[in-house]
Structure 1
Amino acid sequence: MRIVVAAIGRLKRGPETELAERYRDRAAKAGRSLGLRDVEIVEIRESRAQDAPTRMLEESIALANVIPDGAATVLLDERGENTDSAKFATLISQWRAANKPATVFIIGGADGLAPALADKAALRIAFGTATWPHQLVRVLLLEQIYRAVTILSGHPYHRS
């Protein structure tokens, strides 16, 4: 199974990018023993449309194009479920056991996602009720993916 983080916008060089890459690399290396082929980042350019509904539609179409058939799709949504790390790991394990070709985490743009894409999600998760910049959301997500992989690999988890 592949893990894909599909995000609207690109991270600029800086500490957030370095930290995101560090967690992505750690998760990819640790995940090999679990049969995870890779942890990929797909960055999609922000739409330049003049109005929000058109931007949302264009970005959602671009995101939908990177989701493989049969993949588990997870939206990062401020109104989503607050999921602890152990449950997050369990979900990834279940999708892997169900032979999903990928788990795709979607970080939408500032205008949100078109309902047609949002309705296809298997899960919506949030990192609390605060509003987070997209750069930090990506770092938080990649850290949780890394943590999930280590939990599934049998590394001691301090909350167990």
Structure 2
Amino acid sequence: MQTIQILALGKCKEGYLREACREYEKRLSRYCRLQITELEPAALSQNPSEKEIAVALEKEGAELLKRAKGYCIAMCIEGKQLTSPDLAEKLEQAAQGGDSGAVTFLIGSSYGLAPAVKQRAQLRLSMSAMTFPHQLARVMLLEQIYRGYQILAGTKYHK
């Protein structure tokens, strides 16, 4: 069974979004071993300088890279936008690859991801050109992973 790991900086705080995440976690348990790890973002001052942000991103990035395994997908606004079938294909390709077919989705803090994290990733993925709250984006990502497995299973869910 494929391992899907989501490494996210920050916690999913809103109850209704946590409930949505739990629902997709339950649904995904039939298809993969899902591991969601919430990491603490680096502390920043009220109005951080560019240098302070860069240092924080590097610190966060080091923690992400230490935990990342398998095929890594960096979630970032400048990434490539895929269709749901395209994402399903990436999951399938990773499952056939090494490292038990593990896939790690990397979600940065509100300032994004360190350049080293983006370089490590085999894919930079954008959900949309629009900006979403991180918590909602996590639910959307879980839904798309679930949809990908539904596509691979040939169900009608994705239509």
- After superposition, residues 9-88 of structure 1 pair within 5 angstroms as 9-29=10-30, 31=31, 36=32, 38-50=33-45, 51-68=52-69, 71-88=70-87
What displacement does 1:135 show? 0.3
Amino acid at match of 2:118: A
CA RMSD of aligned residues (A): 1.4
TM-score under structure 1 length normalisation? 0.88
What displacement does 1:91 show? 0.6
- How many residues end up aligned between the 2 structures? 151
What's the counterpart of residue 105 of structure 1?
105
What's the counterpart of residue 146 of structure 2?
146
2:154 alignment partner, SS class: coil
CA shift digits 1:34-74 (9 cap, x unpaired): xx3x1110100011154211210111111111112xx1000
CA contact (8 A) 2:10 2:39 kept: yes
* Separation of aligned partners in 1, 2:19 and 2:156: 26
What displacement does 1:114 show? 1.8
CA shift digits 1:89-111 (9 cap, x unpaired): 01100110113431000110112
1:39 alignment partner, SS class: strand
4+ residue runs over 2 A deviation: 156-159
| Structure 1: gaps of 5 or more residues | none
* Separation of aligned partners in 1, 2:158 and 2:147: 11
CA contact (8 A) 2:74 2:117 kept: no
Distance change in 2, residues 1:12/1:100 (3 Å): same
* Separation of aligned partners in 2, 1:157 and 1:21: 19
What displacement does 1:154 show? 1.9
Give the percent of matched residue pairs that are identical in Structure 1 and Structure 2.
31
| Structure 2: gaps of 5 or more residues | 46-51
What displacement does 1:128 show? 1.3
CA contact (8 A) 2:147 2:158 kept: no
Distance change in 2, residues 1:89/1:112 (3 Å): same
* Separation of aligned partners in 1, 2:158 and 2:138: 23
Amino acid at match of 1:153: A
